[in-house]
Amino acid sequence: MESDRVKNIVIVGGGTAGWMSAAALSKLMPEHQGNVTLVESEEIGTVGVGEATIPQIATFNQRLGIHEDDFIRATQATFKLGIEFVDWAKKGDRYFHPFGTHGFDLEGIEFHHFWNKLRERGDARSIEDYSINAAAAYSDKFIRPQSEHGPIINKLGYAFHFDAILYAKFLRKFSERNGAKRIEGKVEQVNLRSDNGFIESIRLADGQVIKGDLFIDCTGFRGLLIEEALQTGYIDWSQYLPVDSAVAVPCEKRGEPIPYTRSTAREAGWQWRIPLQHRTGNGYVYCSQYQSKDEAEKTLLSNLDGKPLASPKHLRFKTGRRKKFWSKNCVAIGLSAGFMEPLESTSIHLIQSGISKLIALFPDKSMNPVERDEYNRLLNVGYAHIRDFLILHYTLTERDDSDFWNYVRTMKIPKTLQRKMALIQSRGRFFKYDDELFNITSWMAVAIGQGYTPKGYNPMVDSLSDDNIIQSLANIRMSIDKAVEAMPTQQAFIDRFCRAQDVYTTAGES
Amino acid sequence: MGNSIEAWLPAAYCCARLPSDDYQIILAETKGNTGGSDGDIVAKPSSKNLHHVLDIAEHDLGSKAHARPALAASIAIDNGLHIDLPFGHYGIDREGIEFQHLWKYSGSQKPLSEFNLALAMHKASVFLPEPPKGAPVYNYGYMLQEEGYINLLKSKARATHITADNITLQQSNGAIDKVICDGESLKADLYIDARHYNYAATNTNVTYTDGNAWQHNHLRITGGFDMLDHQSGMRLHRIQMAMERLFKLWPDREFAAVEIAEYNRLEASQSLHINDMNLLLQQQTQGCSNTLARKIKLFETRGRIAIEDYEIYSKAEWIAAFCAMGINAKNYDRLAHRINSDTLAQWIEQLQVAITNVIEQLSDKK
Ligand SMILES: Cc1cc2nc3c(=O)[nH]c(=O)nc-3n(C[C@H](O)[C@H](O)[C@H](O)COP(=O)(O)OP(=O)(O)OC[C@H]3O[C@@H](n4cnc5c(N)ncnc54)[C@H](O)[C@@H]3O)c2cc1C
């Protein structure tokens, strides 16, 4: 049934979501078999933030055949080994959420049980001391792990910080090379079919009508197609994640970029610091119920480590997700699908996940509800797991120095998270459900980092003698120290392999 | 407590993982039938991990349990028919598109099953430990002689061993206080009750979900509920999974309720998937679980396999079961069109010829 085939894919929106979708679909769909058209409006512009990622992005690049160093050079990217959380558990406190793993499992038992046994015996070392990522991050070191580097460096996990505007530009070039067509224009009307309510076409301000079989809504928070036209509905999670505003500003960089993101808790939210090759990205995500726009801007500007390079940009959002990510012949990807604060840099990953699931369940023109439901089910589950992990950061705080922290410290949390926390508390038990994104290292890093250390350990640990455990853990620490010592600094690595052109303009204008 | 694989495997597993100077393991062996498997049981490819833990080498499996490599599990269904669930892939995926879509798009006249090398070898009774380069991949399991396998497990279980005609449990507040074996009391910290392998359950409508396998200080191990579990390799697999779960949640004498609940939750989820397959094979899909209904619909629509949390069966096993039950995909993934149809048809034909050649060469050598 050739006539059933989806031939015209129309992507509305040219931010990170739009161009990631265009890149993947144009690569997948040879020109003679279909058209990928992307409509974007320079007048409206993009959200312009979203610069920290998680390691899974490497898979996206690989699938597209993008060479990592090309991508780094084009986007002024740096490497990210994890996130440092400052003042989260309480003021003056810090911990590191690393990519990669903590130590090594021994005798089939997860590493943190051994660490916890020694801790209970009075060993004051932090679990971070067993993370190659944390050690490299705090020494400003980086190396791309390769098999010949041996088991310790091979545990190093990494992602990137990049300039969001440059990333969209980079993917635009890639997509256009693969046959995607870009149309500049503002969508003014969405036309629905009278028989089944599917989107038939969009009309631009200049009168152009663009028809499609499948529409990808990448129009950002407003969800021009999925919500304004199809009225899909939104599930609000702000009772769990109450921040609803952000103010962002790039600033001049100070010294060499560090290979990690920093998240510093402030009075009514938290501030990010994302180091790039040419500048530093900063933003303050806060709850408008507890702090005004002006106060938030002041807080951000007084906590920059360089001169601002632009005027601060204010954003508003509602945490949650669409009731359906895929409705009729429209799939929402990116901010139009939902949004959770960027505390763990998950939004770009959710874009990637949406694209790969769409490809795995690629429809024909009839948009079979079975496939649509499966897509929605898989994404619902993915969003909910991430939501729970984000809530963990707040619910574990001890801070009581502001109304905001008092609210999040005492708020009700979802049952799914309660169960996970109870298991962690009970001797550090952890099971990954439904292919969920964050693994045991992430959960333990945040839980232990915020003082929610498991009570006890798997009693199986006692099958190894204390001396044996002490020796094994000392060996791990020693190997990490040695490996980090031998690594180049991140700057040296970048200079050697992937240095971007120097820019002397304001961020985004290069 | 028990005398079948359900008892001896946990005993051997505990002995392998717990240091003998700290832990004492006692096996109270009951008398009678050890499982009624007509002599043979299926071990899925994943049993290799189990045997690694138990330090059982392949040659021991061969000499002591008369192990023969298996590339599929053969399941008897009604009317003398058999279904083979393969331990290997259908064809080879290309450009991220699963083979069953490519096959359907190509319009090949050859049945899908002919593109599964594991199935083809199983049917021709030939074997190669590893697939030839460029052929569809597989991993082999075993057919084991049950009695020999039990003896092998016994040799690995350094357990104090008593035999009893009659075992009764004394409980208070849900926990077991002691076990009376022919009048003699036995006290322990953790009791594993494997007296009811339950294979003889005749009621095919039993729900296989057992949400309370672990209560207080006693854990029930039931490897198989009926003949299907037995033939599909799930009997051994269930016990293996139970042991892995138990050791991940290894308790102390407090027996934390939250950990026991997690064990039971995982067990229930696993049972649900096994049950889904069993219902499918028994053609009892009317009013079945949401997970099975979703799987069937998704497969029928376009040959896609929904993989659930803690899935037990592989995609190939599901495809085999659907095809055998007459549930066919009406369509295929349209992205298959990326591949030129002539090139695809040629490649598919070559693949089938390559598989046939492998079988012929191996058959000649027999
Ligand atoms: C404060 C903040 C910080 C963030 N930090 C991170 C982070 O560190 N890591 C991370 O992974 N994610 C982060 N995110 C999320 C990330 O920014 C987004 O997921 C990502 O940028 C994708 O955005 P988008 O493409 O969906 O939307 P946008 O960038 O808003 O793009 C929308 C597009 O739609 C077009 N458009 C809208 N209406 C019309 C119309 N009528 N006609 C034509 N075109 C139209 C616009 O012109 C634009 O091209 C952050 C988000 C916020 C709010």
Could you tell me if A332 and A293 lie in one domain? no
Q: In this predicted model, what pLDDT tens digit does every residue of A296-350 receive, in sequence order?
A: 999 999 999 999 999 999 999 999 999 999 999 999 999 999 999 999 999 999 9
Specify if A16 maps to a domain.
yes
Could you tell me if A229 and A151 lie in one domain? no
The pick from A335, A340, A344 for probing ligand 1's pocket by mutation, whose C-beta has the most ligand atoms within 8 angstroms, reads A335
Could you tell me if A476 and A417 lie in one domain? yes
Predicted local confidence at residue B38, as pLDDT: 62
Q: Which helix (H) or strand (E) holds A190?
A: strand A187-192
Partner-chain residue, chosen from B250, B302, B309, that has the shortest CB–CB distance to A460: B250
Specify if A479 maps to a domain.
yes
Could you tell me if A424 and A349 lie in one domain? no
Could you tell me if A360 and A222 lie in one domain? yes
CA distance B276 to B285: 8
Residue B208 has pLDDT above 90, yes or no: no
**Share of residues in chain B with pLDDT > 90 (%):** 67
Partner-chain residue, chosen from A371, A431, A458, that has the shortest CB–CB distance to B262: A431
Specify if B359 maps to a domain.
no
Mean pLDDT of B361-365: 89
**CB contact, 8 Å: B330 with chain A?**
no
Q: In this predicted model, what pLDDT tens digit does every residue of B32-75 receive, in sequence order?
A: 666 555 688 999 999 999 999 999 999 999 999 999 999 999 99
The range of the structural domain enclosing residue B314 comes to 4-87+139-332
- Number of independent structural domains in chain B: 1
For residue B86, count other CB atoms closer than 10 A to its CB: 24
Residue A98, beta-bridge partner list: A82
The range of the structural domain enclosing residue A271 comes to 245-316
Q: Residues of A with CB below 8 A from B298's CB?
A: 370-371, 374
Predicted local confidence at residue A241, as pLDDT: 98
Could you tell me if A251 and A356 lie in one domain? no
Q: What is the CATH number of the domain that holds B178?
A: 3.50.50.60
Residue A284, C-beta contacts closer than 8 angstroms, at least 6 positions apart: A246, A247, A248, A266, A269, A270, A271, A272, A296, A297, A299, A300, A303
Residue A50 has pLDDT above 60, yes or no: yes
Could you tell me if A332 and A307 lie in one domain? no
Could you tell me if A325 and A228 lie in one domain? yes
Could you tell me if A213 and A349 lie in one domain? yes
| Cβ <8 Å between A108 and B19 | no
Under 8 Å CB pairs connecting chains A and B tally to: 81
Q: In this predicted model, what pLDDT tens digit does every residue of A306-320 receive, in sequence order?
A: 999 999 999 999 999
Buried b / exposed e along B282-293 (16+ C-beta atoms within 10 A)? eeebeeebebbe
The mean pLDDT value of chain B amounts to 89
**Share of residues in chain A with pLDDT > 90 (%):** 93
Could you tell me if A168 and A258 lie in one domain? no
Q: What is the CATH number of the domain that holds A10?
A: 3.50.50.60
Specify if A343 maps to a domain.
yes
Q: Which atom of ligand 1 is nearest to the CA of A283?
A: 1
Mean pLDDT of A491-503: 93
Residues of A catalogued as catalytic? 80
Q: How far is B327 from chain A (nearest CA, A)?
A: 16
Could you tell me if A416 and A487 lie in one domain? yes
Helix (H, G, I), strand (E, B) or coil at B120: helix
| Cβ <8 Å between A419 and B18 | no
Do B12 and B65 form a contact (C-beta atoms < 8 A)? no
CA distance B287 to B205: 12
Could you tell me if A213 and A194 lie in one domain? yes
Specify if B132 maps to a domain.
no
Specify if B363 maps to a domain.
no
Predicted local confidence at residue A2, as pLDDT: 66
Specify if A407 maps to a domain.
yes
Specify if B223 maps to a domain.
yes
Q: How far is CA B250 from CA A424, A427, A457, B171, in A?
A: 14, 10, 10, 22
ipTM for this model = 0.86
Helix (H, G, I), strand (E, B) or coil at B177: strand
Predicted local confidence at residue A97, as pLDDT: 98
Specify if A299 maps to a domain.
yes
Predicted local confidence at residue A509, as pLDDT: 39
Residue B197 has pLDDT above 60, yes or no: no
Q: How far is A489 from chain B (nearest CA, A)?
A: 37
Partner-chain residue, chosen from A359, A371, A463, that has the shortest CB–CB distance to B22: A463
Looking at A367, A398, A432, the residue that finishes a domain is A367
Specify if B170 maps to a domain.
yes
Specify if A348 maps to a domain.
yes
**CB contact, 8 Å: B338 with chain A?**
yes
Helix (H, G, I), strand (E, B) or coil at B176: strand
At A458, list the tokens: 């798997």
Cα dihedral: A126, A131, A136, A138 (round 10): -20
Specify if A502 maps to a domain.
no
Bridge-based pairing of strands A330-332 and A214-217 is: parallel
**SS in 3 state form for A452-481?**
CCCECCCHHHHHCCHHHHHHHHHHHHHHHH
Mean pLDDT of A353-375: 95
Specify if B159 maps to a domain.
yes
B 159-218 residues with CB < 8 A to A: none
Q: Which helix (H) or strand (E) holds B293?
A: helix B290-302
**CB contact, 8 Å: B147 with chain A?**
no
- Number of independent structural domains in chain A: 3
For residue A482, count other CB atoms closer than 10 A to its CB: 10
Helix (H, G, I), strand (E, B) or coil at A388: helix
pTM: 0.92
Specify if A24 maps to a domain.
yes
